[in-house]
């Protein structure tokens, strides 16, 4: 009870934009501070810093107004500024582990079909689907979104084959995931299988790998072509500090050949 009250109070205080230019790209509200994830980067395993891991901005995570998280805000900006969002009308979209605010925005863009799915659906509008064995026909989607999903999947190759299978030729896949700028090879090991081991090696209890810079090779060998763009390339006018996003996180956009 007291804990809930304190969390609510912190959220209300964080909304006050005095001396701050921060703004949430999704709800458009000004605010004083984005709230950290689990206390922020001080509590992130030191190995993630050493390996120059690019993922969530845990110090500027949650919007105190709409609760969107940094990866959701960043993906929204990437989709908007690349033109993908404004070109969704009549398209068929498959969205894994859908983020609430982003899902509402996509719905309003009038796609011909919009299927939200998850391995553990949390509500009735979300379909059960295993990304490594999808219950959808071949070439049935124009866009597939998996925002920070593949680091949780035990067989990434199988997931990537399935992603390619359900996309039509010329369809796009958005595959955001944490990765290390230091590792030349993706790091995974079935021996690392407890929550504590995964937390210290991959950065979170439910991550099963840490992608390295071979991520591009891994993604493209299944028949996807990289259209990856950097924050500075596509979002140079959006200050990461003001918008609470990680400017080191690229837009992992691919197209099916
Ligand atoms: Zn917001």
Which pLDDT tens digit goes with each residue over 27-57? 999 999 999 988 788 888 999 999 999 988 8
Q: Token digits for 175?
A: 């595959």
Q: What residue ranges define each of the domains in the chain, with the CATH number in brackets?
A: 2-256 (3.40.50.150)
Alpha helices per DSSP H over 62-111? 70-81, 100-108
Helix, strand, or coil here: 54?
Answer: strand
Angstrom distance (rounded) from CA 163 to CA 130: 11
pLDDT at site 5: 87
Q: Name the DSSP letter for residue 45.
A: -
The kind and range of the H/E element at 168 are strand 167-174
pLDDT of residue 205: 94
Q: To 5 degrees, how large is the angle CA 104–CA 105–CA 109?
A: 115
pLDDT tops 90 at residue 113 = yes
Please, are residues 106 and 93 in contact by the beta-carbon 8 Å criterion? Answer: yes
Distance of CA 46 to the CA centre of its chain: 22
CA-wise closest residue to 138 among 114, 160, 169, 117:
169
Q: Which of 113, 117, 158 is nearest to 135 (CA)?
A: 117
pLDDT of residue 1 exceeding 80: no
Ligand 1 centroid to Cα of residue 248, in Å, is 21
Distance between Cα 65 and ligand 1 center (Å): 5
Which token pair is 83?
Answer: 């033109």
Query: What's the confidence (pLDDT) of residue 56?
Result: 84
The pLDDT of residue 35: 93
Distance CA 95, CA 58 (A): 23
- Bridge partner residues of 254 (DSSP): 173, 226
Q: What are 90-110's pLDDT values in tens digits?
A: 999 999 999 999 999 999 999
The per-residue pLDDT for range 189-244, each reduced to its tens digit, is: 999 999 999 999 999 999 999 999 999 999 999 999 999 999 999 999 999 999 99
Q: How far is the CA of 96 from the centre of ligand 1 (A)?
A: 21
Cα 129 to ligand 1 centre (Å): 28
How many whole angstroms from 252 Cα to the centroid of ligand 1? 23
pTM above 0.85, yes or no: yes
Nearest Cα residue to 104 out of 116, 112, 117? 116
Q: How far is the CA of 200 from the centre of ligand 1 (A)?
A: 30
């Amino acid at each position: 009870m007291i804990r809930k009250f304190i969390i609510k109070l912190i959220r209300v205080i964080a909304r006050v934009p005095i001396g701050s230019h921060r703004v949430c790209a999704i709800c458009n509200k000004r605010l004083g501070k984005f709230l950290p994830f689990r206390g922020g980067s001080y509590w992130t395993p030191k190995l993630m810093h050493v390996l120059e891991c690019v993922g969530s901005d845990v110090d500027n995570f949650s919007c105190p107004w709409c609760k969107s998280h940094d990866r959701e805000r960043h993906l929204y900006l990437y989709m908007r500024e690349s033109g993908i969002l404004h070109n969704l009308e009549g398209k068929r979209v498959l969205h894994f582990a859908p983020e609430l605010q982003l899902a509402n925005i996509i719905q309003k863009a009038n796609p011909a079909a919009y299927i939200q799915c998850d391995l553990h659906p949390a509500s009735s509008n979300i379909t059960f689907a295993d990304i490594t064995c999808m219950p959808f026909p071949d070439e049935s989607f124009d866009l597939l979104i998996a925002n920070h999903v593949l680091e949780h999947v035990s067989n990434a190759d199988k997931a990537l084959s399935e992603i390619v299978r359900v996309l039509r030729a010329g369809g796009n896949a958005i595959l955001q995931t944490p990765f290390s700028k230091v590792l030349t090879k993706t790091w995974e090991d079935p021996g690392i299988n407890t929550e504590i081991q995964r937390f210290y090696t991959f950065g979170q209890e439910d991550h099963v790998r840490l992608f390295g810079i071979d991520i591009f090779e891994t993604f493209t060998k299944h028949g996807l072509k990289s259209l990856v763009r950097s924050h500075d390339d596509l979002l140079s006018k959006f200050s990461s500090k003001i918008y609470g996003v990680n400017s080191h996180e690229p837009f992992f956009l691919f197209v099916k050949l």
